[in-house]
Amino acid sequence: MKQQELIRLVLVALVFGLLALLPLIPANDRLMALAVPIAMYAVLATSWSLFSGPTHYISLATAAFYGVGAYTLANGLEVFSYPLLLLMAALLGGGLAALVGMTTLRLSGVYFVIFTLGLAELIRQLVTWYQNNFTGSRGSYVFTDITEAQIYWQLLGLLALVFLLGWLINRSRLGFAIRIIGNDELVARHSGINTARTKVLLFILSGAFAAVVGAVMAPRFVYVEPSMAFSPQLSFMVVVMALLGGVHRLWGPLLGVVPFAIVWELIAANFPGQTVLFMGLAFLVVVYFIPQGVAGVLEQQLHKIRQRRGG
């Protein structure tokens, strides 16, 4: 078992190493235009499922955290250094998640969904109002010398970090606790787990990651304004990608992110009006045909093959 884990670790490291070489391919503009969003969604979807996977709480707050991160970078760029800003984004995102979590996670799942559904819009309205009345400008420019390749490498690094954390959590008491909560919250409470605290902790983690992703992506926008930074569509994209891939495994969301992002780009390029319809159909497909995601389907097939071999 130990050896198997070591082999797996080496394999994962190898894959990350190969992926990191991607920007070195010459004349790679179109490739990078696809690779950066995929890397971004990979981080968002995987960190989303750290919390929402085991608990089944559907969080639609990703856009809110992402926007907070983007704004942190855009507004602080002239005052603070870049690494410090990423840290601040993580703290602000985590702080917002803590507030939201402490308000809603004591209650049942529906309240949480509804609250997060409007959260991005709420913050967008507040930021717009503040900018209209106090700063006078609608957005702010982000001028940096950060290249597309550097954004990609940062996202890849974040993805590795999410995987590492997810793996550690799964082996820890925290991971065990959150799985029990997901199975039966009442049982969890009776076995002495502080359910609210456990949920809030994991939610903070996923919120912090989304905020850092927002900060990392901000230089790519050049101009950061509320309706773009807090676009509610982002939250739904993350949810459908993660569920499509399968949230019961750490690597599951990846299987959803890559195909979905590619198809999405194709549709957005050829039929720009139909992306909403496509997203709706994807949701329905996930719910009705592959509730366990691609990962679940894969595991089932593997299991069958193994059984046939064994028998």
Partner 1 sequence: MVILLTGLFLGGIYALIAMGLSLQYGVARIMNLASGEMLVAGAFAGFWVYTAFSVSPYVALFFVVPLAFAFNWLIYNWLLLPLVRRAKNRGQLEVDSILATFGMSFVLVGVMLMAFGGSYFSYSWLARPIELLGSNYSQNRVLAFAVAAVICGGLYLLINRTRLGLSIRAVAVDPRAAGLVAIDVKKVAALTFALGGAVAAAGGTLLSTFLTFDASIGVVFTIKALVIVIMGGVGDIRGAIVAALALGLAETLVATLLDPGLTLAAAYLLFILILLFRPQGLFGRSAL
- Contacts with partner 1 by CB under 8 A lie at 56, 58, 103-104, 106-111, 113-115, 117-118, 121-122, 125-126, 128-129, 132-133, 232, 236, 239, 243, 273-274, 276-284, 286-288, 291
As a whole number of angstroms, the distance between CA 246 and CA 275 comes to 22
- Of the pair 175, 226, the CB lying nearest partner 1 is at 226
**Coil, strand or helix at 224:** strand
- Of the pair 11, 126, the CB lying nearest partner 1 is at 126
**Residues 6 or more apart from 186 whose CB is under 8 A from it?**
none
- Of the pair 130, 223, the CB lying nearest partner 1 is at 130
Task: Please state the closest distance from residue 252 (CB atom) to partner 1, in A.
Answer: 16
- Of the pair 239, 295, the CB lying nearest partner 1 is at 239
Task: Please state the closest distance from residue 275 (CB atom) to partner 1, in A.
Answer: 8
The answer to whether the beta carbons of residues 206 and 55 sit under 8 Å apart is no
Task: Please state the closest distance from residue 288 (CB atom) to partner 1, in A.
Answer: 7
Q: Rounded to 5 degrees, what angle do the CA atoms 72, 73, 79 make?
A: 95
Task: Please state the closest distance from residue 59 (CB atom) to partner 1, in A.
Answer: 12
**Coil, strand or helix at 221:** helix
- Of the pair 149, 228, the CB lying nearest partner 1 is at 228
Task: Please state the closest distance from residue 156 (CB atom) to partner 1, in A.
Answer: 30
As a whole number of angstroms, the distance between CA 215 and CA 66 comes to 7
Q: Rounded to 5 degrees, what angle do the CA atoms 8, 11, 159 make?
A: 95
**Residues 6 or more apart from 79 whose CB is under 8 A from it?**
none
Task: Please state the closest distance from residue 124 (CB atom) to partner 1, in A.
Answer: 9
- Of the pair 85, 127, the CB lying nearest partner 1 is at 127
150: nearest Cα among 10, 67, 36? 36
As a whole number of angstroms, the distance between CA 102 and CA 2 comes to 39
